[in-house]
Amino acid sequence: MKILAFDTSSRACSVALQYNDEIKLLHDVVPMQQAKLILPMIQQLLDAFSLTLNQLDAIAYGCGPGSFTGMRIGNSVAQGIGLAANLPILRISSLAAIAQAAFMERQWKTLLVALDARMEQVYWARYEVNAAGLAELADKEVLCVPEAVPVPPSHTWYGVGDGWEKYEDKITTRLGFPLQAIHSAQLPTANALLALAKVKWEQGSWVRAAEAVPTYLR
């Protein structure tokens, strides 16, 4: 299995390549630089495995929600590579990638993801990690004001995403219970995308390059 994964929906430019059981990751926090860095980073990983785009099985990318500019960059690269190399595209939620990254880095299994969506709103989702170690959406991803986030069942929850940095007081007041911990600096990572993409690939849940579109939630 040879899958290239990348996410540019946040402040980071994150690229990973899986070749059978080996994964290589490049992840840099480079606000406003993703358009310049994404293609050289992809080429660096291809060179590391002595692969060409035509030898890949699929492309996985973070389709959003997130930064509008960042999502458009990622979507354009996914479409361009997919069309040029005739590769299937695996669309992965950037919120899911944040939850998966938090599990992989901190072993947190019950996650409330909040991203600052500007205009006093947040992108919000509840994810729970299953027995296979994969983040699963427990409700639905929504765009709302912090005072109206869907309240999950009382549980042991962890907060991730930059929405917590700006709106922690409003969200916790809405929830009515404290969180175990909050990591507002958690970003989506390309190796987290790969973990989620593998299942989609095995299920045949992919789209053609022309059908790959961003998820805005607006």
How much is the pTM?
Answer: 0.96
Q: Which domain holds residue 104?
A: 95-183
Return the HEC string of 60-88: EEECCCCCHHHHHHHHHHHHHHHHHHCCC
Question: pLDDT digits over 201-216, tens only?
Answer: 999 999 999 999 999 9
Regarding whether 110 and 31 lie in a shared domain, the answer is no
CB distance 67 to 12 below 8 Å: no
Count the domains in the chain: 2
Regarding whether 174 and 113 lie in a shared domain, the answer is yes
- Supply the pLDDT for residue 125: 98
Regarding whether 138 and 67 lie in a shared domain, the answer is no
Regarding whether 68 and 39 lie in a shared domain, the answer is yes
Alpha carbon distances (Å) from 141 to 21, 115, 194: 31, 11, 20
Instruction: State the CATH number of the domain containing residue 60.
Output: 3.30.420.40
- Supply the pLDDT for residue 154: 76
Question: pLDDT digits over 41-60, tens only?
Answer: 999 999 999 999 999 999 99
Residue bearing tokens 């994404």: 38
Contacts of 70 by beta carbon, 8 Å cutoff, 6+ apart: 8, 9, 10, 34
- Report if residue 139 sits inside a domain: yes
Residue 121 pLDDT class (50, 70, 90 cuts): very high
CB distance 39 to 96 below 8 Å: no
- Report if residue 145 sits inside a domain: yes
Residue 173 pLDDT class (50, 70, 90 cuts): very high
- Report if residue 218 sits inside a domain: no
